[in-house]
Amino acid sequence: MLRSLCATSSDKEFTIDLYQKMLRYRLFEERVNLAYTKQKFSGFCHLHIGQEAVCAGIGACLTKDDYVIASYRSHTQALNKGISPEQVFAELFGKASGCSAGKGGSMHMFSREHRFMGGHGIVGSQVPIATGIAFAIRYRQEKLVAICYLGDGAMNQGQIYEAFNMASLWKLPVIFVIENNQYGMGTDYHRVTSVSEFTSRAPGFNLPWRVIDGMNVLTVYQEFLPIITEVRAKMLPYLVEMKTYRYLGHSVSDPATYRSKEELSHYRQNDPLSQMADYLKGKGFAREDEFEQWDNDIRAEINAAEVRAEAAAAPDEASVDEHVFVD
C-alpha cells in the first residue's frame, strides 16, 4: 500500500508533496510553452496549465501497477505516472531518449514501464482502449484499476458510449475521468451538448458517477480515494467529472479569444496552486521562503532536464523503419 493511500489532509509531508507535484507540472508546462514559442520543437502542443490538481490528486490514489491512459493533452499525466521530465522533454524535441523514442511527440507519450498507456490523438478513442485494459484486469482477476482521462470534447464522441455500455455490462474496473475544462478546442461544451451536465448521461449506462471540484487538489484526492477504493474492491466502472479550467488556449497556437477575461480571472482566483499554498500556510506547514525555495529548486531541475533533452541525440535515421512490426 502506498503511503499516500492512508494519508490525510492534515499530513504535512503528504500535502507538501501534492503542492510540489502541481508546481512541477505548472513549471514544466510553462517551460514547454516557452520552448515551443522559441520554436525548439514543432507540431501540436496542448498544455495542462490550470488543470494540475486533477492528475496530482488522482495520482496520489494510484499504485504503480495501475494503468493510466489519456488524450493528447497529457504531459503532466505522463509525469505523474513516473516518466521523467527529461524523457518528456526529449520526446517533445523528437530525441531518441524520448519516452516514445522520438516516434510519438507531444500527443503520444508512452511508457510500458510506468504503465502509461499513451496519449492518444483522436478525441475519445482512448475510452474503448481503457475499457480493454480494464477487461484484461478482470480477465486476470487483478486488484488494479485503469484510469481513463478524457476531455469534455470527447463526451460527444460516439465510441465512448459503446465503451461505457460494455464497461458497465461487464463490470470492468475503469474510472472514466472527464477533465471538464469547459472548452472542446474553442467551443464551449454547452453550445454543442444537449444536456447541461455530462453526468446526467451516466444513469443511462448504469454507471455510478460523481462530480468533483477539479481546482482543489485536496478535494480531488479526498473524493477520488473512496471511489478508486470501491472500484478496486468491487470491480466496477465509474464516471467522474472534474470541473476544471485551462488557462491557455486549446494548443499553444490558440490565443483563446472565445472566452472573456472575467471568466479567466475568476478561475485564476481559484488557482489550484494558490489554494494549496494558502492551505499549507494556514496549517503552518510551510513558510513563505520555503515556497520560494521549492520554486527555485523545481525550476532548476526542469531547466536542467530541458537542457539535457535538447542536447540528446536525434533518433538514428535507420530507426524510421523500426517498430512498424515486432518479431
Catalog residues that contact other proteins under the rule CB under 8 A: 67, 69, 98-104, 108, 110-112, 117-118, 120-122, 125, 127-137, 139, 146, 158-159, 162-163, 165-166, 169, 322-327
Contacts of 82 (CB under 8 A, 6+ apart): 64, 111, 113, 114, 116
Q: What distance in Å separates the CA atoms of residue 211 and residue 113, rounded to the nearest whole number?
A: 31
Q: What distance in Å separates the CA atoms of residue 282 and residue 135, rounded to the nearest whole number?
A: 44
Contacts of 272 (CB under 8 A, 6+ apart): 22, 50, 51, 52, 53, 56, 215, 216, 217
Q: How far is the CB of 82 from other proteins (least distance, A)?
A: 14
Per the listing, cell 503542492 goes with: 19
Q: How far is the CB of 108 from other proteins (least distance, A)?
A: 5
In the bound state with other proteins, the residue whose beta carbon lies nearer, of 16 and 129, is 129
Q: How far is the CB of 154 from other proteins (least distance, A)?
A: 13
Q: In this structure, are strands 146-151 and 116-119 parallel, antiparallel, or unpaired?
A: unpaired
Q: What distance in Å separates the CA atoms of residue 134 and residue 147, rounded to the nearest whole number?
A: 9
In the bound state with other proteins, the residue whose beta carbon lies nearer, of 132 and 249, is 132
SS3 call for 70: strand
Q: What distance in Å separates the CA atoms of residue 210 and residue 214, rounded to the nearest whole number?
A: 12
In the bound state with other proteins, the residue whose beta carbon lies nearer, of 137 and 236, is 137
In the bound state with other proteins, the residue whose beta carbon lies nearer, of 56 and 172, is 172
In the bound state with other proteins, the residue whose beta carbon lies nearer, of 11 and 315, is 315
Q: How far is the CB of 104 from other proteins (least distance, A)?
A: 5
Q: How far is the CB of 13 from other proteins (least distance, A)?
A: 33
Are 210 and 197 in contact, with CB atoms under 8 Å apart? Answer: no
Q: How far is the CB of 101 from other proteins (least distance, A)?
A: 3
In the bound state with other proteins, the residue whose beta carbon lies nearer, of 91 and 223, is 91
Of 143, 318, 324, the closest CA to residue 229 belongs to 143
Q: How far is the CB of 4 from other proteins (least distance, A)?
A: 24
In the bound state with other proteins, the residue whose beta carbon lies nearer, of 137 and 242, is 137
